[in-house]
């Protein structure tokens, strides 16, 4: 199996889906050039009618995607950075997410909003926020944030084929990460998480870059005799509640790790669900590890201080274990 970068896997998924279905088109800012490389080469093969550069007006571009999807096309709308979705909020929240319901199911909205999300490039507050929690709160919108090249390809292809609006978040820090990606056709079901590391003492649930931080923490804790199970949800909405609850039933302890903020965030949703539905399985209170409640700094050192680190995750695990290794 070939090893490919995260960004190359995105590029492959777009090529394959556009070749498979002539209704798939790509629109967005600088998509013909491919600022993030994921869209490079598409214009050369598919031309002006299916790869459209747009003006810098996120609200208008997002609305064009809604209209295109409602008329039977399958647009992928590339808005570059997650924070730019704020500028398109009305079209996503009031139109894309509600139209199929308000029209009584008479139309479909096969629409993907694709952006770079999160920290790791020292791109400053306007380009580095983790915005996924806002869209988790919107009815009928799916939210995906893959952590590996294999997952990003399989999930992007599944998102393009889905008949509902999808917010597809490619993590900004993972573009150059390499991993095994099959050449043959494959899809990953939306809403299906994966255990990236099996363990018996504590369950750590995360997504995106935090999956890699959690795995690093687990590797260090292994030296102390602590066996950590790491779950990568892959999809934030709908999220794989059953997988998490099954893991907690085994380990009895739960740590939620997310790059977003704690208040009304993804980690809080996971922690609340575990506390509500797995209370009698828990041997200790649940723990949340999230970013600090401040704007994302431009300074690389300060940026690292704001978001969860492998060391913070390891400390949280020690806390739920009471700093002792279970027998």
Report the alpha-carbon distance of residue 289 to residue 294 in Å, rounded.
15
Q: What angle do CA 76, 80, 81 make, to 5 degrees?
A: 125
Catalytic residue among 43, 125, 126, 127: 127
Burial profile 74-86: b = 16 or more Cβ within 10 angstroms, e = fewer? bbbbbbbbbbbbe
Q: Which string of DSSP letters, residue by residue, matches 261-275?
A: -STT-HHHHHHHHHH
Known catalytic residue at 171: no
Closest listed residue to residue 263, CA positions, set 300, 308, 233, 293: 293
Helices (H), 47-105: 58-70, 89-90, 99-102
3-state secondary structure of 178: strand
The set of catalytic residues is: 127
């Amino acid at each position: 199996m070939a090893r490919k970068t995260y960004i190359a896997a995105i590029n492959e998924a777009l090529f394959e889906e556009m070749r498979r279905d002539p209704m798939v088109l790509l629109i967005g800012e600088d998509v013909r050039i491919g600022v993030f490389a994921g869209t490079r080469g598409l214009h050369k093969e598919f031309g002006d009618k299916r790869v459209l550069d747009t003006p810098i007006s996120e609200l208008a571009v997002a609305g064009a995607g809604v209209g295109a999807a409602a008329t039977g096309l399958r647009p992928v709308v590339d808005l570059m950075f997650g924070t730019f979705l704020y500028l398109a909020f009305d079209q996503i929240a009031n139109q894309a997410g509600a139209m199929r319901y308000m029209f009584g199911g008479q139309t479909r909205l096969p629409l993907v909003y694709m952006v770079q999300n999160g920290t790791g490039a020292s791109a400053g507050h306007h380009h580095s926020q983790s915005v996924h929690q806002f869209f988790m709160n919107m009815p009928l919108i799916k939210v995906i944030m893959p952590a590996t090249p294999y997952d990003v390809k399989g999930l992007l292809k599944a998102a393009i084929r889905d008949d509902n609006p999808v917010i597809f978040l490619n993590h900004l820090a993972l573009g150059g990460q390499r991993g095994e990606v099959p050449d043959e056709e494959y899809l990953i079901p939306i809403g299906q998480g994966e255990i990236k590391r099996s363990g018996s003492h504590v369950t750590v649930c995360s997504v995106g870059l935090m999956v890699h931080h959690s795995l690093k923490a687990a590797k260090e804790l292994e030296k102390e005799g602590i066996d950590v199970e790491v779950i990568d949800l892959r999809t934030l909405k709908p999220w794989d509640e059953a997988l998490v609850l099954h893991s907690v039933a085994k380990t009895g302890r739960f740590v939620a790790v997310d790059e977003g903020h704690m208040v009304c965030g993804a980690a809080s949703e996971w922690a609340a669900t575990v506390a509500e539905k797995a209370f009698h399985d828990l041997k200790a209170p649940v723990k949340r590890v999230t970013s600090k409640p401040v704007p994302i700094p431009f300074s690389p050192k300060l940026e690292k201080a704001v978001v969860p680190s492998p060391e913070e995750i390891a400390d949280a695990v020690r806390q739920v274990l009471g700093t002792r290794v279970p027998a």
